[in-house]
Amino acid sequence: MADPKVVLIHGMPQKIVEVITSYTPEGFTTALVDGDLPVERQLEEVEDADFIIVHRARLQDGVLRAASKVRLVQLLAAGYDNMNLKLMNELEIPCANNGGANSWAVADQALLLMLSLYKRLILSDRATREGRWNAPIDGSNTFEMAGKLVGIIGIGNIGRQVARRVQGFDAEVQYYDKYPLSETQDRELKITSVPLEELFRSSDIITCHMPLTTQTRHIVSSEGIAMMKPTAILLNTSRGPVVDELALIDALREGRIAGAGLDVFETEPVDSDNPLLRMDNVVVTPHSAGTTWDTWFRRAEFAYGNIQRVWEGEPPQSIVRDYEE
């Protein structure tokens, strides 16, 4: 019997690929497929594949249909919005995300964006380098996390990590999730489940941590933004389209909210003419929140562990179940 075959379809640098494939279990083989290769070339590798790992590449429908032996499509990322989940469901191929392997990194970035806005870090750095000592700080425009109410939209792996971090700064936490935690979990985490409208109205900081689906697209809508306090800030380190970007731009321009910290945008790479890039009350990063050297080891360990679990007849973990019409 041939060794179980894993095909890694990717767009990653060689150094990272070597880290990922070093976790290949004994008795398994991993074949590498550049995600930019024509579909015909990819078909040759997946026809006898038992598992597919995908990262920074698109899994083409034709490739998926040709993978008749595949038992699991394993993602190295948390998001799955570029996967054809409907087709996978039809083909009865389960899809798993990274099991929260990058949750520490994304939670760190969310906190970084909060503090950068509250302390006017980017403006202060620029002014100091330019010899304008303390120019951006007037005594009334910087803030502390202590005592603030943080509203988390999406209380999955990342959302819970964010809750723990902001509580370390003496902030309080409320959250909205389509599937709220149990009362016991809420008590253990010292967080409160609230309706989405209440979260928009009462939070000092709103931070987004949910996958992109038809249900979450523009969950931060113009109506929701209109409910926010004028002193509130909005963070998004999930997927750009969960926020209505045009509504956010209008609110920031008109001073209806205080600021925004964005790692993601509705169009990526972000257009250089995007007004958000020219606003002093906005801090931006290039969809890099989940990317740290540390995460690759956790991603790889979880991915191959999940694959080995399925090969041994056990159910996979971290299955994406939100198949939508």
| pTM, full prediction | 0.94
Q: 235 pairs with which residues across the strands?
A: 207, 261
Catalytic residue among 18, 188, 268, 314: 268
Residues contacting 215, CB < 8 A, separation 6+: 178, 324
Report the pLDDT value the prediction gives residue 208, as an integer from 0 to 100.
98
Report the pLDDT value the prediction gives residue 323, as an integer from 0 to 100.
44
**3-class secondary structure, 262:** strand
Catalytic residue among 201, 217, 287, 309: 287
CA dist., res. 228 & res. 240, Å (int): 19
Measured CA to CA in angstroms, residue 144 lies from 8, 45, 66, 117, 232 at distances of 45, 54, 55, 10, 13
Q: From 211, 191, 203, 195, select the one nearest 97 (Cα to Cα).
A: 211
CA dist., res. 161 & res. 194, Å (int): 18
Percent of the chain with pLDDT over 90: 98
- pLDDT band at 325, cuts 50/70/90? very low
Q: Which two tokens stand for residue 124?
A: 């202060």
Q: 29 pairs with which residues across the strands?
A: 5
Q: Is 239 among the catalytic positions?
A: yes
CA dist., res. 105 & res. 289, Å (int): 6
- pLDDT at residue 1 is higher than 70: no
What count of other Cβ atoms lies within 10 Å of the Cβ of residue 178?
A: 13
Q: Which residue has the higher pLDDT, 62 or 322?
A: 62
Rounded mean pLDDT of the chain? 96
Catalytic residue among 120, 165, 209, 239: 239
Given the structure tokens 């257009």, which residue do they identify? 271
